[in-house]
Chain A
Amino acid sequence: MQALVPLIPFLPFIGFAVNGLFGSRLSKSTVGLIGSGALLVSFLLSVACFNEVSATGPIHSVLYNFMTVGSFQVNFSFLVDQLSVWMMLVVTGVGFLIHVYSIGYMHDDEGFWKFFAYLNLFIFSMLLLVMGDNLVMLFFGWEGVGLCSYLLIGFWFTNKEYNKAARKAFIMNRIGDLGLLLGIFLIFKTFGSVAYTDIFSRIESVNPDPAIITAICLLLFVGAIGKSAQIPLYTWLPDAMAGPTPVSALIHAATMVTAGIYLVARCNPLYNLSPDALTIVAAVGLVTSIWAALIGLRQNDIKKVLAYSTVSQLGLMFVALGMGAYVSAMFHVTTHAFFKALLFLGAGSVIHAMGGEQDIRNMGGLRKALPITFWVFLIGTFAISGFPLLAGFFSKDEIFANTYAAGGRLWWGLAGLGGMITAIYMCRLLFVTFFGNFRGTEEQKRHLHESPGVMTIPLIVLAALSVLGGFLNTPHFLHLGTPQWLGHFLEPVVQNADPAHGGEPHHLPESTEWSLMLFTTSLALIVIVVSYFVYAVRRGLPVADADQTGLTRVLARKFYVDEIYDFLFVKPTEKMSQLLHYYADIWAIDGIVNGIGSGVRAVGAQFRKLQNGNMEYYLIGMVVGAVLLFLTLFV
């Protein structure tokens, strides 16, 4: 098995190379087959790894020495332990389904082969990120997924707005990457190694200053903020919806954006030493989760709603991490990957049927035309809202319970508020899109059709996962299946902890857990029912852009954050660039270069008069020269 481990990331890489180099000459079905086939084999190998890891423990596979500079040594090597094999399963599994879906969704696109090449490259980078046994490998994958994200957001590069969105994502990620890089530097300086096993085993012997640990944790968290779209660097994610919908599902919901969660969970031994850093992680996550949920309430673009929902859910995962509930965060990463991929792909199916329309105000009544899409979207919505026994119910409830145990009532209440708003806007999205009368044009109405099987089958599989995914980690008091199965599986690498209160997580009494669960669940159910009456029965419609007033307007304009950033950072930078352009570049640098040039020309123009082509001038010159020579030599 150890020998096969490198195949898992390199199969998608081969797929990328084949599709990227020869894709334009291959038929679409071949391209799709190569792209998804490579991933299917990777997924099966990951399953084999999973079996071996759960039976015999981590697999360590060293390929070669990447670089050695003095005492700094990096191996190109993979560490397949419980945490990474879990991420591998999610990445390749959900990734495979999205690849299959893309065959249908992208079928009429000219860049079909390019799309699959990019997707495979993304999977390769993401697998390097989660499989690497050291932080340099992680950084390698981290940058690789950023690049793929950029390429895929700007996939339809002829649209200028899309290009801007791609650039925005790249630049904002770069800000976070700087933090991550500095964090890695500081880790190397402190521990003398970048390999996880070395770092964590040396914590005791090195015994670094708590301030340094906090600095490391915060720097790594800055990287996570960029990649996982938290305040203040979250604005790139909603704009990233410019990419094709499968990209939004794979990269900007299910996998890449959870890299930040993975990073923090991976470095949990460090975070456990720094309760301050954990509090900041939780605070940022909490504010983001409520902030993004509020914006999501008044968005009318089907993908934008889901994007803000993603930001909000990622915030919730950071709350879990900040509370020391690493396992709950990983659990929510998994279930979120299922239902958010499902929701995005469902939205893609709707957009596909509507011929590119994304505004939910122009949809309505789609449940009759798109029955399969409707049902899976309903499952996805209920799963994210916390409908009992669906995936999100278990994972969110676990986070809420851990927040209550570690953070107290206030944290719990605010996190729950975010969760409730999530239920509101998701139900609004569902009911406005699929209920009521059709509000699009006649032409769109004739064009309405259910998506082909290659798209609906991945949807159905994801819907099944969204229903069953919660049973991976059921709480003890419900006595369903194997309680805390995922927690036990991940135990050798990550365990829930509560470093602020002594280290061991605080267990709530069963009665408290019951009442917490009943409270949040009944809230979710009330929200679903009320939304049904408001949006489906009474057919309350979001108002047109021009009629927005007060808070609705503020929310629809996303709290004007983009405008504020524009004013604070973008405009000054542009102004600065213009000044530098005019004064430093055009005036000073070009001035010097052009000045030298025109000076030479001016002198040359004077000398040119000598070469006027008149023989007598030359002769006079010759004679005068000879006479002068004679005079200087002999007189």
Chain B
Amino acid sequence: MLDVVKTIPIDYYVYLSSLLFCIGVFGVLIRRNAIVVLMCVELMLNAVNLLLAAFSTYLSDAQGQIMVFFIMVVAAAEAAAGLGILVMIFRNTKSTDIYSLDNLRN
């Protein structure tokens, strides 16, 4: 299993997770749909997870993988809370457009 991971050079993991992270960032910046924004946040988190797991294997250090579990737990909790908020927003505004949430402006 570890060898499988190691068949791919570490540079590629770095490129892939950087790419995923950037996709997540741009998704958060430019998308209006709250669900997509939330998914993009997850994408950023998982880009980091991937990098952690890869380095952990290459350096034979389990700490990185333990950190991944923590991040997954936190991400799951965050997704649950975020989706709960989103459901309430949708019930109230009949939309998932984050730019419609400007009631407190001015």
Contact = CB atoms under 8 A, between A and B. Distances in A.
Interface of A: 613-616, 619-620, 623
Contacts of A613: 102, 104-105
Nearest to B31: A616
A59 B84 CA distance: 98
A619 B28 contact: yes
A100 to B, nearest CB: 73
A616 B29 contact: yes
B4 to A, nearest CB: 31
Contacts of A623: 25, 29
A623 B99 CA distance: 19
13 contacts: A613-B102, A613-B104, A613-B105, A614-B99, A615-B98, A615-B99, A616-B29, A616-B30, A619-B28, A619-B29, A620-B29, A623-B25, A623-B29
Interface in B83-106: 98-99, 102, 104-105
Contacts of B99: 614-615
Interface string B54-75: 0000000000000000000000
Contact size class for B?
Answer: under 10
A619 B25 CA distance: 9
Contacts of B28: 619
A613 B104 CA distance: 9
A621 to B, nearest CB: 11
Contacts of A616: 29-30
Interface string B32-48: 00000000000000000
A235 B6 CA distance: 112
Given A615-B99, A616-B29, 11 more contacts: A613-B102, A613-B104, A613-B105, A614-B99, A615-B98, A616-B30, A619-B28, A619-B29, A620-B29, A623-B25, A623-B29
A628 to B, nearest CB: 14
Contacts of B29: 616, 619-620, 623
Nearest to B98: A615
Please provide the 8 A-B residue pairs with the shortest distance between their CB atoms, ordered closest to farther: A613-B105, A619-B29, A616-B29, A623-B25, A619-B28, A613-B102, A620-B29, A615-B98
Interface in B2-29: 25, 28-29
Contacts of B105: 613
A289 B23 CA distance: 106
A616 B31 CA distance: 9
Contacts of A620: 29
Nearest to B25: A623
Nearest to A613: B105
A620 B25 CA distance: 9
* Highest count of chain A CB atoms <10 Å: which of B25, B30, B104, B105: B25
A616 B26 CA distance: 10
B82 to A, nearest CB: 14
A347 B47 CA distance: 107
A266 to B, nearest CB: 76
Contacts of A615: 98-99
A132 B105 CA distance: 74
A619 B30 CA distance: 10
B8 to A, nearest CB: 25
A614 B25 CA distance: 16
A631 to B, nearest CB: 15
A615 B99 CA distance: 8
A623 B104 CA distance: 24
* Highest count of chain A CB atoms <10 Å: which of B29, B30, B98, B104: B29
Nearest to A616: B29
A623 B30 CA distance: 13
B64 to A, nearest CB: 20
B29 to A, nearest CB: 5
B60 to A, nearest CB: 25
A623 B25 CA distance: 8
A620 B26 CA distance: 9
A623 B22 CA distance: 10
A619 B104 CA distance: 18
A616 B102 CA distance: 13
A613 B99 CA distance: 10
B18 to A, nearest CB: 12
B5 to A, nearest CB: 26
Contacts of B98: 615
A623 B105 CA distance: 23
A196 to B, nearest CB: 77
A66 B104 CA distance: 67
B88 to A, nearest CB: 18
Nearest to B105: A613
A623 B29 CA distance: 9
Contacts of A614: 99
Nearest to A626: B25
Nearest to A615: B98
A451 to B, nearest CB: 73
A532 B98 CA distance: 105
B28 to A, nearest CB: 6
